Amino acid sequence: MKIKTLTAAVMMSLGLLSVVGQTARAAEGELLVWEDIKKSNGITDAVKAFEAKYNVKVKVMEMPYTQQIEKLRLDGPAGIGPDVLVLPHDQVGTAVVQGLITPLKLTPEYLAGFTKPAVDAQTYLGQVYGIPKAVETIVLVYNKDLMPKAPETFEELKAFSKTQRDAGKYGLLAKFDEIYYAFGVVSGMGGYVFGPNSDGSLNVDDIGLANQGANDAVSYLKSFYADGLFPAGIVGDTGANAIDSLFTEKKAAAVITGPWSFQPYKDAGVNYGVAPLPLLPNGEHMRSFLGVKGYSVSTYSKQKELAQQFIEFINQPEYAKVRFQVTGEIPPVKSLIDDPLIKDDEKSRAVAIQAAYAVPMPSVPEMGEVWSPANSALQLAVTGKQDVKAALDGAVKNIKMQIEAIHAN
């Protein structure tokens, strides 16, 4: 059905794109699904198969997945919201608290088909609120002309970096002055953002960014700066651009970054490879932050059971595989990690493997108070402008004060 011109104009002004149907609620026996922008073609086959099997109609509408929760707040109560929507996992907690999405009744056997971190990311207070669709995390990207094979350990990478510096080039470059990039090392060596409560939820009063593991981790990161392995220009707001420039100019052999860098590096003509992050000095994997997109069921849906059947159906391995082929989004489906389609795709396999070791980024509102103090402390600590312990203690103190302030309001 075509959208009327006026409606289409309004939707386009909101940055929305309708693929099939209108914003009006689907009729009984039909489902209205909100999918991410330019991703609905990844579920076309699955939708057709579901419609045929259950003799129902599925209407699909595209909009940016980060904006769907905001629109649901208005459209849900008005009766024109979706049955199914896509959310970044760090919005799940807020959506639950606001009563916007409903818990799912999924068997342990079904959930076992997905990687545990991806399922954890869709879990809030012990209840699963979404089926994981795609994962994203940081990996090691290296120039194959300068480094034919990715080192398996950080110590190997550090030693290689020293030889590169002797030759006037750089080995590894990373934004270790930001918690997003440093967290994999911090977590792998025993630090954490928020500790767990007995029920598995996050205890925002238990902040582990200044414990012994965190201190050891940041001291280790500091050694890359102290040994002259990192240039001064990669600290602060311009650091990421400086790293990209050095890598694309082939003056650096490896960087720690995410899938968002793959295409720009390809366009720059770099012969690059991608690998999971190397092992830490303690033998542990870097437990980087994990981002997860997931399908959830709206609280306002009058067909919750059918909606859940739909998201279970479209996330079967055969359809998740098709979605990967069409959209490039990496599914956290265990059986697909060793599928030739992903296994033989170096980039996708590296992200999939690293995602299995990653930690879901906390989805609680209090996480917003962590970024700035943590980044400031890391910048002071790794550059030697402040003692590591003093910097981390100060960050935790500031985080706690800010969390207390928002709780008081």
Task: Give the Cα separation of 330 and 337 in Å (integer).
Answer: 9
Distance of CA 311 to the CA centre of its chain: 20
- pLDDT at position 28, please? 57
At 190, give phi and psi (nearest 5°): 110, -5
Strand-pairing partners, residue 291, are 136
CB count within 10 Å of CB 333 equals: 26
Task: Give the Cα separation of 258 and 105 in Å (integer).
Answer: 33
Q: Which of 277, 317, 157 is nearest to 227 (CA)?
A: 157
- pLDDT at position 263, please? 85
| 250 vs 406, residue with greater confidence | 250
Q: Which two tokens stand for residue 383?
A: 């550059």
Q: Which of 273, 148, 278, 275 is nearest to 220 (CA)?
A: 278
Q: CA quadruple 329, 332, 333, 336: dihedral positive or negative?
A: positive
Percentage of the chain surpassing pLDDT 70? Answer: 93
- pLDDT at position 183, please? 98
- pLDDT at position 333, please? 94
Question: Using 50, 70 and 90 to split pLDDT, how confident is the model at 3?
Answer: very low
Q: Which two tokens stand for residue 91?
A: 């919005």
Question: Using 50, 70 and 90 to split pLDDT, how confident is the model at 21?
Answer: very low
DSSP, collapsed to helix, strand or coil, labels residue 387 as coil
Question: Using 50, 70 and 90 to split pLDDT, how confident is the model at 223?
Answer: very high
**Long-range interactions of 63-70: CB distance < 8 A, separation 24+:** 63/14, 63/15, 63/16, 63/17, 63/34, 63/36, 63/37, 64/15, 64/36, 64/37, 65/36, 65/37, 65/293, 66/91, 67/15, 68/34, 69/94, 69/95, 69/100
User: Per mean pLDDT, which range of 182-186, 277-281, 334-338 is the poorest?
Assistant: 334-338
Rg (CA), the chain: 23
At 269, give phi and psi (nearest 5°): 80, 20
- pLDDT tens column, 103-158: 999 999 999 999 998 999 999 888 999 999 999 999 999 999 999 999 999 999 99
- pLDDT at position 232, please? 84
Question: Using 50, 70 and 90 to split pLDDT, how confident is the model at 288?
Answer: very high
pLDDT of 20 above 90? no
- pLDDT at position 113, please? 96
Residues 6+ apart with CB under 8 A from 367: 90, 193, 194, 361
Mean pLDDT of the region 358-366: 87
Task: Give the Cα separation of 131 and 121 in Å (integer).
Answer: 10
User: DSSP for 218-284?
Assistant: HHHHHHHHHTT-S-GGGSSTTHHHHHHHHHHTT-EEEEEE-GGGHHHHHHTT--EEEEPPPBPTTSP
Mean pLDDT of the chain: 90
User: Per mean pLDDT, which range of 4-8, 243-247, 383-387 is the poorest?
Assistant: 4-8
| 212 vs 12, residue with greater confidence | 212
Mean pLDDT of the region 179-203: 93
- pLDDT at position 10, please? 32
pLDDT of 15 above 60? no
Q: What is the pTM of this model?
A: 0.78
